[in-house]
Amino acid sequence: MSNKIGLLFTSVGTIVPLFLNPLAWVGAVAGALIGWGICWIVFVLPFQKNLAERESQLDHWSQLNQQLQQQTMDNRNMSQSELKQFIASNQEATAAFAEIQRRLQQREIRMSETPIYFVLIPISVVALAFGGVVLLFKAMNQRALMTVEHVMQLAPHEIVQAVVARHVALTAPRVAGLPALPSTEMELAIKTDTRN
C-alpha cells in the first residue's frame, strides 16, 4: 500500500508543475477559444440563420393569415348588392381579359403567317428595275435614231444611199434568183467594201 501511495505522490508531483506552468495555461485557453470558435462557426451560425429564415417565414404567413381573415370579414360584411356589383365587375374584367387574350391570339396567328407584302415588295422592286432598264434602252435607241436622222439630213443624198445600200448588201440574206439590190448599188457596195 505504501508503494501505491508513493506512486500517487510521484504522479501528483509530475502533474502539479504542469498546472503551474504558464505556457500550459496559455495553450489550454487558446485551445478552448479555437474549439469554441469552430463550434460557433460550424453549428451555431447555420442554426441561427435557419432560425432567422423560419422566423421571417412565420411572420410572412401570419401577415397572410391576417390579410385573409380581414378579407373574409370584409366579404361577410359586404351587403348583397355590393356582392352582386363585385361579381358583375369581376365578370366584366374576365370578359375584357378574354377579349384581350383573343386579340393577342389573332395577332400571333397573323404574325406567324408570311405577309403578302413580303412577297410583293421584292417582286415590285424587280419589276421596277426591269421596267427602268427597258425604258433606258428605249430612250437610248430613240436618241440613236434621232442622231441617224440628223446625220441623214446633213449628209448629201448620194452618200446616205450608198451607206444604206452597203449595209443592206452586207446584212441581207443571199437568196438565189432574187437580187437584193439593183446592180449599180450592189457594185458600189462591193467596191467600197473592197477598198476597206
User: Coil, strand, or helix at residue 190?
Assistant: helix
Sorted by where each begins, the domain ranges of the chain are: 1-77, 79-113, 117-195
> Closest Cα partner for 183 from 169, 163, 167, 172?
169
Q: What span, in angstroms and rounded, lies between the C-alpha atoms of 86 and 75? A: 10
pTM: 0.27
Convert 128-176 into a string of H (helix), E (strand) and C (coil).
Answer: HHHHHHHHHHHHHHHHHHHHHHHHHHHCCHHHHHHHHHHHHHHHCCCCC
Q: What is the pLDDT of residues 150-165, one digit of tens each?
A: 766 776 777 777 877 8
Give the dihedral sign, CA 23/29/35/40.
Answer: negative
For the stretch 51-72, pLDDT in tens is: 888 888 888 888 888 888 888 8
